[in-house]
């Protein structure tokens, strides 16, 4: 039987193939003469347009690749299109026919070079044509970049230049389409690369990344991109996404540090890399030679291994004869776990993959570095600002991969900017002394990605990637956040103050959001088989974030973070506005608990790095870094250092070494140092790892001796319930403290009388179904009123019969308030509204505020008040108000502010204030002056001093010796100082009731009116009696000399010499200075030479003395006393008949009390506001 030969499979419809081949043939061909020049056909333009129609209406409409396969087989691009472009590339723009042919060629080049991607929706026809088309596109790229007769890319730039020269407002849709086609072609050339699964016939040097970069530099593509980037948003708007794709495919996978290395060091680095590769090869050969087969072992070896459980295992190979360890290692290597594989979406690994490293030639490195530097200087901010806005508004041109490419490009260029600065720094240090100093550059070149809008967009992008499990996008976001943090870290140490301030602001914005902390934690903890590059990115982000956060928290001790827990509570309240406390879930007994919990959330906003770092030290976080450490033979020094620092933090900084005590982790650490296939001892990280692992093993041995149960725990991951016990040997002590309800108060203006206050509180309690508590309190007050009334009547009768007995029992006994049941006792402790009603009714708490504390009715409350409280509560209990003036009664109460709240709210403004000594246990001095002595007390004190003098004179001869007197004097001074430290002077501290005392207000305003009238009289007298000083006589001047000396301290009060005055005199001077406001204000008109030498530097110097008292603690006496003294002096001087108006003027002008006009700018200045 003859076997029939296999028939050829037609991959393309023969009819389609014939049509396409006929069009390609009619397009033109090489001439038959010796020149071999390409000659176009008679209707070449029509053929080009027909080919474009076949691609559009057959391949695109029917979702096939038949026409593209036919054009690849007949080599249309390299055989026809490239020669046509080189033929007409230098044609004048005025030649319309040639311009149309060039445009038609460009319209064919773009679809033919469009990247072929592998995705999950590919048909059978796609799978058949994709490998051939990928190989053909590599040939297309090689032909375009390596065409020697003329530069193809530059010729295509000439096609788009006329459209680019037109102003943006005047461009037509056709012009925008031409520019877009040109950029798409450059994008395609940048994307095309040799597929890893297809063989290459020869050494490919025309389709690599280096060849692309060299061609872009030599044919002015980089210059075109720089021009468009620098004018993005002005002359160009719709080209930003295409340019981003070009940049992304040019820089992805390029090592930034290698790009900016010095030329002298580049050769050394290449030599080191070669040595490392050769050394790894030697190690592999050495390991292989240990187990390599020999001619004596050709028949193989098989042995039995007896295990601990008396079972036998069979192991083959000569290497198992070396010893037990080698045998067991061979057994471990032969163990395989057939992990179940789940069907995943088919994704092209080369599509948008920015993790594969790319090596560039020296020329490509130089050209790319030049382009990157120029782009950072001129085009970075315009392009990325425009792109960010387009992504935010979800423009039509934005694709799914745009965001990923955007954030990766941001991270790459930020890294490039830092590497460039380091390169410039090294260059300046090498040429130090030979060139002039150059001012440091600002980070404003990359400021467009360091603003709040960028941070918001990045957080949204990362959260979206986490929610939809798009790990490639999340890797790009993590890389970007890491580079932003590293850039900000360099800004913080910049010599420019502006950069330092911006860095401080950026760090506060990033670290202020608690959601950012939680996101970094969740990314680190939730790693699970996302790949090595994801693992590298998440560990790097956690390492940088934790290190910078630690440094920032040390510099800002009062760091605050914003939590979202309170926002959720507000949303829940807004969703159910009228839901009462019982319907909310029963978590709290009243709305007071909600208020207390909200306040607790506010107080927890203060950031504690120690508590936060504990959250990083969990078993899942350790597992993530262990997964990274398993690649220790492929990791570089920075990656090994990153894992080393984390394990050190866990084991020694946080004292959580028990998390590392697991069999697989211990085995990995031992293998890294002792082998086989351990770390290279010649590498720098080896010594650090060796010391760390040695200390971890010492801890393990010590813990096993202390807690033998840890031997069992070595087999398992540690859980939070047992970690503390395994580390410290005892359970964690947690103290549950029951807190009382937060004190409430009525909002200001909501109630003015006791009746209105009780009405609000009772109505609020009844709305919460707490009427039994109100009834109970009413009964307690009723019985207490009867009991107190009986005692008062008994006391009155006793007073009539025996006054002496009444004086002995003048106070009524306190009445204890007893709860009726346990629920009432709990409400007295936890219900804030009931406690407010009890305080309004005059009840007081006896001892500490704990559950079951005793309450009582004090003896100072008469029976009439208790009866009034009882009647008011009964009245409002029978007819409670549902709302008061349209407001819910519960909304008329608020949390009572405490001293701690005032301190916390004022802390932001006082953090930079110098409070003197930092000592916390001792006072540095007297905080307040003593209260002013009243007149009666002053006379009594003066008489006592005179009596003591007489006694001391009489007993002078028989007095104690000097040592005893000195000891007594020291003791008196110490006691006086202690008393003054305890003084809360009545000048500055008043009871809160005084502030709302109507009688005190009336008296205060009356005194103010008297002072204003007295001041007005003095000003009027000064205006009427103001005369020149030379009209006075010598006699009158002499007569006023005595009075000058009496008040001279007023003038010398602000001089430096006043500090040398005696203590008693100085104290009186200070009293006069602070209270004689009128005298100091009038003193402006005096002609003191010492005052005239110092010009006024502020409004205080103009309108007052040069050295005004401290506004915080004015060491002065009350204004009332001094004004009374001044008024008394004025009346005395008015009654004196010997002094006339001229004499009064002379006295005032010499003593600083002259009542002259106090004018400035033509206006008379008064002192009513200062009085």
Q: What is the C-alpha separation between 1145 and 1057, in angstroms, rounded?
A: 27
Please measure the distance between the N-terminal and C-terminal CA atoms of the chain and give it in whole angstroms.
Answer: 131
Cβ-Cβ contacts under 8 Å for 20 (sequence gap 6 or more):
51, 54, 67, 70, 71, 74
**pLDDT(557) > 60:** yes
Query: How many CA within 13 A on the CB side of residue 417?
Result: 26
Confidence of residue 804 (pLDDT cuts 50, 70, 90): low
Where helices occur in 319-401 by DSSP H, the ranges are 324-334, 362-378, 380-392
Give per-residue pLDDT as tens, 51-98.
Answer: 999 999 898 888 889 999 999 999 999 999 999 999 887 766 668 888
> If we measure between CA atoms, which residue out of 1000, 1032, 1044, 1030 comes closest to residue 1152?
1044
For the four alpha carbons of 421, 425, 431 and 432, in that order, the dihedral sign comes to positive
Q: What is the C-alpha separation between 530 and 469, in angstroms, rounded?
A: 10
Average the pLDDT over each of 171-175, 415-419, 780-784, 852-856 and give the range with the smallest value. 852-856
**pLDDT(619) > 90:** yes
Residue 364 has what pLDDT? 93
Residue 330 has what pLDDT? 79
Q: If you ran DSSP here, which 8-state letter would residue 303 be given?
A: E
Kindly list the distances between the CA atom of residue 102 and the CA atoms of 32, 47, 93, 182, 223, in Å, as whole numbers in the listed order.
Answer: 24, 13, 11, 11, 22
Confidence of residue 796 (pLDDT cuts 50, 70, 90): confident
Kindly list the distances between the CA atom of residue 1104 and the CA atoms of 386, 610, 1083, 1169, in Å, as whole numbers in the listed order.
Answer: 58, 52, 9, 13
- Residue 295: CB atoms within 10 Å: 5
Residue 435 has what pLDDT? 55
**CA R_g for the chain:** 46
Q: What is the C-alpha separation between 896 and 746, in angstroms, rounded?
A: 9
SS3 content of the chain, % helix, strand, coil (to 5): 65, 5, 35
Residue 744's beta-bridge partner residues?
A: 895
Residue 701 has what pLDDT? 94
**pLDDT(610) > 90:** no
Q: What is the C-alpha separation between 725 and 709, in angstroms, rounded?
A: 11
Cβ-Cβ contacts under 8 Å for 896 (sequence gap 6 or more):
742, 743, 744, 745
Burial of residue 278, with CB atoms counted within 10 A of its CB: 0-12 exposed, 13-18 middle, 19 or more buried: exposed
Q: Nearest 5°: phi and psi at 330?
A: -65, -40
Residue 146 has what pLDDT? 87
Residue 602 has what pLDDT? 42
274 against 826, higher pLDDT: 826
Residue 936 has what pLDDT? 45
Residue 294 has what pLDDT? 64
Residue 1074 has what pLDDT? 37
Residue 1006 has what pLDDT? 85
Q: Angle CA(1109)–CA(1113)–CA(1055) in degrees, nearest 5? A: 25
352 against 130, higher pLDDT: 130
Region 364-373 average pLDDT: 95
Q: What is the C-alpha separation between 182 and 155, in angstroms, rounded?
A: 11
Confidence of residue 325 (pLDDT cuts 50, 70, 90): confident
Residue 523 has what pLDDT? 96
**pLDDT(1112) > 70:** no
Give per-residue pLDDT as tens, 386-440.
Answer: 999 999 999 999 999 999 999 999 999 999 999 999 988 888 887 765 555 566 6
Q: What is the C-alpha separation between 478 and 462, in angstroms, rounded?
A: 8
For the four alpha carbons of 321, 325, 326 and 327, in that order, the dihedral sign comes to positive
3-state secondary structure 1097-1119: CCHHHHHCCCCCCCCCCCCCCCH
**pLDDT(600) > 80:** no
Q: Angle CA(764)–CA(766)–CA(772) in degrees, nearest 5? A: 135
Q: Which contacts qualify for 73-80: CB closer than 8 Å, 24 or more apart? A: 74/20, 74/21, 74/24, 76/24, 76/27, 76/51, 76/108, 76/112, 77/108, 77/109, 77/112, 77/113, 77/140, 77/143, 77/144, 78/139, 78/140, 78/143, 80/24, 80/27, 80/28, 80/29, 80/38
Region 218-226 average pLDDT: 95
Please provide the size of the chain in residues. 1171
Q: What is the C-alpha separation between 905 and 618, in angstroms, rounded?
A: 35
Residue 48 has what pLDDT? 94
Region 266-289 average pLDDT: 71
Q: Confirm if 350 and 196 have CB atoms less than 8 A apart.
A: yes
- Residue 1003: CB atoms within 10 Å: 12
Region 734-759 average pLDDT: 84
Residue 55 has what pLDDT? 92
Give per-residue pLDDT as tens, 92-138.
Answer: 666 888 899 999 999 999 999 999 888 778 888 888 999 899 999 99
Give per-residue pLDDT as tens, 822-880.
Answer: 889 899 998 999 999 999 998 998 878 888 888 999 988 898 999 999 999 999 898 88
Confidence of residue 320 (pLDDT cuts 50, 70, 90): confident
Residue 262 has what pLDDT? 62
Residue 947 has what pLDDT? 56
Region 194-216 average pLDDT: 75
Confidence of residue 309 (pLDDT cuts 50, 70, 90): confident
Q: What six digits make up the tokens of 859? A: 């003896």
What is the pTM for the complete model shown?
0.65
Where helices occur in 55-114 by DSSP H, the ranges are 61-62, 66-73, 76, 82-88, 96-112
* Residue at token pair 């057994």: 331
Give per-residue pLDDT as tens, 903-921.
Answer: 544 444 434 433 333 333 3
Residue 1045 has what pLDDT? 41
Peptide bond into 196 cis (omega under 30): no
**pLDDT(371) > 90:** yes
Q: What is the C-alpha separation between 660 and 726, in angstroms, rounded?
A: 12
Kindly list the distances between the CA atom of residue 475 and the CA atoms of 256, 257, 507, 540, in Å, as whole numbers in the listed order.
Answer: 18, 20, 22, 11
Give per-residue pLDDT as tens, 1001-1021.
Answer: 788 888 888 888 888 888 777
Q: What is the C-alpha separation between 1085 and 1105, in angstroms, rounded?
A: 12
Residue 342 has what pLDDT? 67
Distance of alpha carbon 447 from its chain centroid, rounded? 18
Q: In which element (H, E) is residue 302 found?
A: strand 302-306
- Residue 283: CB atoms within 10 Å: 13
Region 16-22 average pLDDT: 93
Region 501-515 average pLDDT: 92
**pLDDT(210) > 60:** yes
Q: Confirm if 1165 and 1012 have CB atoms less than 8 A apart.
A: no
Residue 1124 has what pLDDT? 46
Confidence of residue 252 (pLDDT cuts 50, 70, 90): very high
Give per-residue pLDDT as tens, 690-714.
Answer: 999 999 999 999 999 988 888 999 9
Confidence of residue 1072 (pLDDT cuts 50, 70, 90): very low
34 against 1151, higher pLDDT: 34
With b for 16 or more beta-carbon neighbours within 10 A and e for fewer, the 423-438 pattern comes to: beeeeeeeeeeeeeee
Residue 158 has what pLDDT? 92
Q: What is the C-alpha separation between 171 and 159, in angstroms, rounded?
A: 15
Kindly list the distances between the CA atom of residue 632 and the CA atoms of 210, 640, 685, 688, 765, in Å, as whole numbers in the listed order.
Answer: 30, 7, 11, 14, 67
Residue 803 has what pLDDT? 64
Residue 441 has what pLDDT? 77
Q: What is the C-alpha separation between 256 and 419, in angstroms, rounded?
A: 7
Residue 1069 has what pLDDT? 41
Residue 332 has what pLDDT? 78
With b for 16 or more beta-carbon neighbours within 10 A and e for fewer, the 851-867 pattern comes to: eeeebbbeeebebebbb
Considering the chain, what percentage of its residues have pLDDT values greater than 70? 69
* Residue at token pair 């020049």: 37
Q: What is the C-alpha separation between 190 and 196, in angstroms, rounded?
A: 17
Confidence of residue 682 (pLDDT cuts 50, 70, 90): confident
Residue 33 has what pLDDT? 65
Cβ-Cβ contacts under 8 Å for 1101 (sequence gap 6 or more):
1094
639 against 1110, higher pLDDT: 639
Q: What is the C-alpha separation between 542 and 550, in angstroms, rounded?
A: 12
Three-class DSSP category at 846: coil
């Amino acid at each position: 039987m003859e076997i029939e030969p296999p028939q050829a499979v037609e991959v393309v419809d023969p009819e389609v193939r014939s049509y396409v081949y006929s069009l390609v043939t009619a397009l033109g061909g090489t001439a038959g003469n010796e020149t071999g020049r390409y000659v176009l056909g008679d209707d070449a333009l029509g053929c080009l347009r027909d080919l474009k129609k076949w691609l559009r209406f057959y391949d695109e409409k029917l979702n096939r690749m038949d026409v593209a396969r036919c054009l690849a087989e007949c080599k249309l691009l390299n055989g026809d299109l490239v020669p046509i472009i080189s033929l007409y590339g230098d044609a004048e723009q005025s030649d319309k026919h040639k311009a149309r042919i060039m445009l038609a060629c460009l319209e064919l080049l773009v679809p033919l070079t469009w990247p072929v991607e592998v995705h999950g929706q590919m048909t059978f026809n796609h799978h058949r044509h994709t490998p051939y088309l990928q190989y053909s596109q590599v040939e297309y790229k090689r032909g375009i970049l390596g065409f020697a007769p003329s530069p193809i890319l530059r010729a295509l730039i000439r096609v788009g230049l006329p459209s680019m020269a037109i102003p943006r407002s005047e461009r037509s849709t056709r012009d925008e389409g031409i520019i877009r086609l040109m950029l798409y072609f450059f994008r395609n050339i940048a994307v095309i690369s040799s597929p890893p699964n297809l063989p290459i016939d020869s050494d490919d040097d025309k389709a690599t990344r280096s060849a692309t970069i060299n061609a872009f530099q030599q044919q002015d593509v980089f210059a075109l991109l720089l021009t468009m980037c620098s004018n993005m948003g002005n002359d160009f708007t719709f080209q930003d996404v295409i340019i981003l794709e070009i940049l992304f495919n040019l820089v992805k996978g390029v090592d930034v540090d290698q790009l900016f290395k010095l030329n002298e060091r580049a050769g050394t680095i290449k030599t080191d890399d070669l040595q490392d590769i050769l050394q790894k090869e030697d190690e592999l050969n050495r390991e292989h030679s240990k187990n390599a087969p020999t001619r004596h072992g050709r028949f193989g070896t098989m042995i039995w291994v007896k295990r601990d459980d008396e079972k036998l295992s069979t192991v083959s190979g000569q290497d198992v004869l070396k010893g037990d360890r080698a045998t067991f290692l061979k057994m471990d290597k032969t163990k395989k776990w057939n992990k179940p594989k789940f069907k995943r979406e088919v994704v092209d690994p080369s599509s948008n993959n920015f993790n594969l490293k790319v090596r560039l030639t020296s020329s490509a490195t130089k050209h790319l570095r030049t382009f990157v530097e120029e782009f950072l200087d001129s085009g970075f901010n315009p392009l990325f600002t425009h792109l960010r806005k387009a992504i935010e508004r979800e423009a039509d041109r934005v694709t799914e991969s745009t965001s990923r490419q955007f954030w990766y490009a941001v991270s790459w260029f930020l890294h490039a900017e830092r590497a460039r600065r380091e390169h410039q720094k090294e260059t300046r240090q090498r040429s130090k002394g030979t060139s002039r100093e150059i001012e440091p550059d600002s980070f404003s070149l990359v400021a467009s990605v360091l603003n709040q809008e960028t941070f918001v967009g990045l957080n949204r992008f990362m959260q979206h990637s986490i929610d939809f499990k798009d790990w490639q996008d999340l890797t790009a976001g993590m890389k970007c956040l890491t580079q932003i943090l590293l850039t900000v870290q360099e800004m913080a140490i910049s010599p420019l103050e502006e950069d330092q301030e911006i860095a401080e602001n950026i760090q506060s914005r990033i670290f202020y959001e608690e959601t950012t902390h939680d996101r970094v934690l969740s990314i680190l903890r939730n790693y699970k088989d996302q790949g090595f590059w994801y693992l590298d990115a998440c560990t790097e982000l956690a390492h940088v974030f934790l290190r910078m956060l630690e440094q920032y928290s040390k510099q800002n001790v009062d760091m605050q973070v914003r939590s979202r827990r309170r926002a959720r509570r507000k949303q829940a309240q807004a969703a159910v506005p009228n839901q009462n406390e019982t319907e909310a879930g029963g978590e709290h007994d009243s709305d007071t608990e909600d208020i207390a919990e909200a306040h607790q959330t506010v107080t927890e906003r203060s950031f504690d790095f120690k508590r936060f770092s504990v959250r990083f030290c969990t078993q899942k976080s350790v597992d993530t870094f262990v997964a990274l450490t398993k690649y220790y033979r492929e990791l570089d020094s920075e990656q090994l250092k990153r894992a080393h620092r984390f394990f050190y933090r866990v084991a020694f900084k946080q004292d959580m070494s028990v998390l590392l005590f697991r069999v697989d982790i211990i085995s990995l650490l031992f293998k890294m140092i002792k082998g086989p296939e351990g770390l290279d001892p010649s590498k720098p990280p080896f010594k650090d790892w060796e010391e760390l692992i040695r200390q971890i093993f010492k801890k393990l041995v010590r813990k096993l001796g202390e807690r033998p149960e840890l031997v069992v725990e070595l087999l398992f991951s540690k859980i939070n319930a047992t970690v503390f016990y395994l580390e410290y040997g005892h359970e964690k002590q947690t103290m549950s403290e029951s807190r009382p309800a937060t004190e409430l108060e009525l909002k200001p203006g909501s109630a003015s009388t006791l009746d209105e206050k009780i009405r609000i509180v009772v109505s609020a309690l009844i709305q919460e179904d707490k009427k039994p508590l109100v009834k109970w309190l009413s009964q307690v007050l009723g019985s207490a009123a009867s009991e107190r009334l009986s005692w008062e009547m008994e006391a009155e009768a006793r007073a009539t019969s025996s006054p002496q007995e009444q004086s002995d029992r003048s106070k009524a006994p306190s009445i204890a308030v007893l709860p009726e049941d346990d629920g009432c006792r709990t409400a007295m402790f936890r219900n804030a509204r009931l406690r407010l009603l009890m305080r309004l009714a005059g009840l007081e708490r006896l001892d500490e505020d704990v559950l079951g504390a005793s309450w009582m009715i004090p003896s100072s409350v008469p029976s009439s008040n208790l009866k009034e409280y009882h009647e008011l509560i009964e009245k409002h209990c029978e007819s409670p108000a549902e709302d008061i003036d349209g407001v819910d009664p519960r909304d008329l109460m608020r949390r009572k502010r405490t001293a701690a709240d005032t301190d916390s709210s004022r802390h932001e403004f006082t953090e930079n204030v110098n409070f003197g000594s930092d000592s916390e246990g001792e006072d540095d001095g007297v905080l307040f002056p003593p209260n002013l002595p009243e007149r009666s007390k002053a006379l009594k004190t003066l008489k006592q001093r005179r009596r003591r003098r007489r006694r001391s004179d009489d007993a002078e001869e028989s007095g104690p010796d000097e040592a005893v007197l000195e000891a007594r004097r020291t003791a008196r001074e110490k006691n006086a100082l202690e008393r003054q430290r305890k003084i809360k002077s009545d000048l500055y501290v008043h009871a809160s009731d005084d502030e709302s005392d109507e009688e005190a207000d009336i008296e205060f305003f009356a005194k103010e009116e008297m002072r204003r009238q007295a001041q007005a009289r003095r000003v009027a007298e000064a205006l009427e009696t103001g005369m020149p000083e030379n009209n006075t006589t010598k006699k009158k001047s002499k007569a006023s000399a005595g009075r000058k000396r009496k008040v001279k301290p007023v003038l010398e009060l602000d001089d430096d010499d006043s500090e040398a005055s005696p203590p008693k005199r100085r104290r009186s001077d200070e009293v006069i200075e602070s209270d004689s406001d009128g005298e100091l204000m009038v003193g402006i008109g005096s002609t003191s030479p010492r005052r005239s030498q110092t010009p006024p530097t502020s409004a205080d110097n103009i309108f007052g003395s040069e050295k005004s008292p401290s506004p915080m603690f004015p060491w002065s006496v009350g204004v009332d006393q001094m004004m009374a003294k001044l008024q008394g002096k004025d009346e005395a001087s008015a009654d004196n008949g010997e002094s006339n108006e001229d004499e009064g003027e002379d006295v005032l002008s010499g003593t600083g009390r002259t009542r002259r006009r106090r004018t400035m700018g033509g206006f008379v200045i008064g002192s009513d506001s200062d009085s």
